[in-house]
């Protein structure tokens, strides 16, 4: 049983669609996760203890759970809350956004704390409001500090999207699995999937380290 | 929301036993995988700090390959592809003779995947030690092996205890991916109970609580260990 490239070429459109779904899922989860993550980070750094405790509890709780379990939770939970069945893709997307928000929160918080405290006070002393200090002084510097970590997290998340396999969303890995089962060619398909992920993630991580060298403060 | 709660089911006959066995499978799987990850990852991490260029490259290639392929894809590779590449005798053993093949495949996949992460921690731990300590040890007549065994590794491990804790918790959480190969670990058990009883909240809640409890316990234990093993006078003392 040799290595048959024909199987891959024959199903290349299907596989490519799967890859697109993986990218889509990653991108939407990044956008959503960043938005909620930023709010969470602000809450965590709040002076009102109940607000920061709430955000801290959320972050630590979600970080202690496996992603698969969170995906299953939303897979069974969302239809029951909404009252009617929803498609697996939406439930997975919600799970990803809420799960990744916890990780992004920690990254953003670390980025903001990396800017020296005195700068906030200097900004306030010059008559800026708290929000404009954040907007014009702290966030631009914090963003630069945390950019490499944010991008690395994005790469990790791209790999994590393969987990949607467990609820049958047609991402790259699931599509390859379906093709592998229907053509009985698991070796070719799984090897191709692994190599594709390897190339994409390796290239992306090289790019990140180049960026990091260029934009480091 | 219309739902009839039945928390008692978690303690009733077949289900209580399932949860216990699922939880112990998760723990055993995680511990075996961690043993592989820690020992093999340490070797790779050390390779990456050596002066020999070839060995260093071998370490780098290992880390890049295992870090950049999703764990799930790696599990499928170990389970479906690697056995086909083995010589005939070994192939027969893996396919027919090996007891509990899904479990051991998951252990191996998870172990070697995490080893790439451990390797990075060990490397950064060793590289955070000022070069002078290594030179001092060499000047005192230590062999390369002794320098690593008595100076670099003991200090390196202690500085990266928090990151290693994270990696261990990663193994613990990632062991849930073994369900894709059919291993009945905690998450798979919760799913099975749901399918048998149509009660979805209780079993998932039980799994959630168990996962969080273990994570909290491990974090508390490692904080304690970290305090005990802190190196006096270093910035890393005390952790985050």
pLDDT score, position B29: 95
For residue A52, give the H/E element and its range.
Answer: helix A49-63
Q: Would you say B111 and B168 are in contact if contact means Cβ atoms under 8 Å apart? A: no
Beta carbons within 8 Å of B38's beta carbon, 6+ residues apart: B115, B118, B164
Q: Would you say B101 and B154 are in contact if contact means Cβ atoms under 8 Å apart? A: no
Is A89 at the interface with chain B, CB within 8 A?
Answer: no
Q: How far is B212 from chain A (nearest CA, A)?
A: 5
Question: Does the structure show a pLDDT above 90 at A120?
Answer: no
Token pair listed for A79: 């239809």
- Tally Cβ neighbours within 10 Å of residue A123: 18
CATH class of A5-215: mainly alpha
CA angle A115–A99–B174, rounded 5-degree value = 110
pLDDT score, position A217: 64
Domain assignment present for B82: yes
- Measure CB to CB from residue A165 to each of B68, B72, B77 and give the nearest one: B72
Instruction: Please give the Cα distance from B240 to B223 (Å, whole number).
Output: 10
Is A81 at the interface with chain B, CB within 8 A?
Answer: yes
Is A205 at the interface with chain B, CB within 8 A?
Answer: yes
Structure confidence at residue A19 as a pLDDT band (50, 70, 90): very high
Domain that residue B19 falls in: 13-228
In tens digits, chain B (240 residues) has pLDDT values of 567 788 887 888 788 899 999 999 999 999 999 999 999 999 999 999 998 999 999 999 999 999 999 999 999 999 988 888 888 888 888 777 788 889 999 999 999 999 999 999 999 999 999 989 999 999 999 998 999 999 999 999 988 988 999 999 999 999 999 999 999 999 999 999 988 888 888 899 999 999 999 999 999 998 888 888 877 765 544 433
Is B190 at the interface with chain A, CB within 8 A?
Answer: yes
Residue B111: which of B24, B22, B211, B38 has the closest Cα?
Answer: B38
Q: Would you say A115 and A138 are in contact if contact means Cβ atoms under 8 Å apart? A: yes
Residues in chain A within 8 Å Cβ distance of B191: 72
Instruction: Give me the residue label for tokens 């069974």.
Output: A76
Structure confidence at residue A47 as a pLDDT band (50, 70, 90): confident
pTM summary value:
0.89
Domain assignment present for B177: yes
Q: Would you say B48 and B117 are in contact if contact means Cβ atoms under 8 Å apart? A: no
Q: Would you say B228 and B220 are in contact if contact means Cβ atoms under 8 Å apart? A: no
Q: Give the CATH number of the domain where residue B197 resides.
A: 1.10.3720.10
Domain assignment present for B2: no
Domain assignment present for B8: no
**Plot region of A86 (φ>0 → left; ψ -120 to 50 → alpha; else → beta):** beta
Residues in chain A within 8 Å Cβ distance of B84: 1, 187
CB contact under 8 A, B81 and A186: yes
Beta carbons within 8 Å of A85's beta carbon, 6+ residues apart: A79
- Measure CB to CB from residue B69 to each of A72, A177, A198 and give the nearest one: A198
Count of structural domains within chain B: 1
Would you call B145 exposed, middle or buried from its count of C-beta atoms within 10 A (0-12, 13-18, 19+)? exposed
Residues in chain B within 8 Å Cβ distance of A80: 1, 3, 200
């Amino acid at each position: 049983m040799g290595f048959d490239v024909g199987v891959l070429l024959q199903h290349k459109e299907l596989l490519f669609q799967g890859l697109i779904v993986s990218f889509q899922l990653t991108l939407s989860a990044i956008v959503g996760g960043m938005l909620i993550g930023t709010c969470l980070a602000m809450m965590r750094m709040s002076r009102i203890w109940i607000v920061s405790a709430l955000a801290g509890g959320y972050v630590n709780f979600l970080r202690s759970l496996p992603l698969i379990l969170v995906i299953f939770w939303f897979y069974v939970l969302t239809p029951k809350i909404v009252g009617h069945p929803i498609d697996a893709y939406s439930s997975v997307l919600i799970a990803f956004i809420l799960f990744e928000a916890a990780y992004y929160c920690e990254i953003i918080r670390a980025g903001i704390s990396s800017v020296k405290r005195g700068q906030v006070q200097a900004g306030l002393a010059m008559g800026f409001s708290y929000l404009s200090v954040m907007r014009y002084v702290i966030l631009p510097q914090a963003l630069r500090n945390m950019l490499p970590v944010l991008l690395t997290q994005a790469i990790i998340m791209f790999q994590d999207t393969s987990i949607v396999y467990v609820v049958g969303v047609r991402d790259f890995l699931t599509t390859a699995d379906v093709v592998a089962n229907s053509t009985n060619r698991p070796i070719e398909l799984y090897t191709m999937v692994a190599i594709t992920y390897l190339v994409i993630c390796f290239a992306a991580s090289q790019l990140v380290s180049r960026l990091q060298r260029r934009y480091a403060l | 929301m219309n739902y009839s709660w039945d928390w008692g089911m978690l303690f009733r006959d077949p289900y209580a036993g399932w949860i216990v066995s699922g939880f112990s499978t998760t723990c055993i799987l995680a511990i075996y995988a961690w043993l592989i990850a820690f020992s093999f990852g340490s070797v790779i991490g050390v390779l990456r700090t050596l002066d020999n260029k070839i060995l260093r490259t071998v370490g780098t290639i290992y880390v890049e390959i295992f870090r950049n392929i999703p764990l799930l894809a790696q599990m499928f590779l170990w389970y479906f592809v690697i056995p086909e590449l083995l010589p005939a005798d070994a192939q027969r053993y893996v396919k027919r003779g090996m007891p509990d093949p899904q479990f051991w495949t998951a252990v191996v996949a998870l172990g070697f995947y995490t080893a790439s992460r451990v390797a990075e921690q060990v490397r950064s731990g060793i590289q955070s030690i000022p070069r002078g300590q290594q030179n001092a040890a060499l000047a005192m007549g230590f062999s390369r092996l002794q320098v690593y065994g008595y100076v670099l590794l003991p200090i390196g491990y202690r500085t990266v205890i928090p990151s290693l804790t994270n990696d261990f918790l990663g193994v613990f959480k990632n062991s849930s991916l073994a369900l894709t190969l059919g291993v009945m670990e905690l998450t798979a058990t919760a799913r099975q109970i749901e399918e048998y009883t149509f009660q979805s909240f209780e079993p998932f809640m039980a799994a959630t609580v168990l996962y969080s409890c273990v994570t909290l316990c491990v974090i508390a234990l490692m904080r304690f260990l970290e305090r005990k093993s802190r190196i006096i006078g270093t910035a890393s003392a005390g952790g985050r």
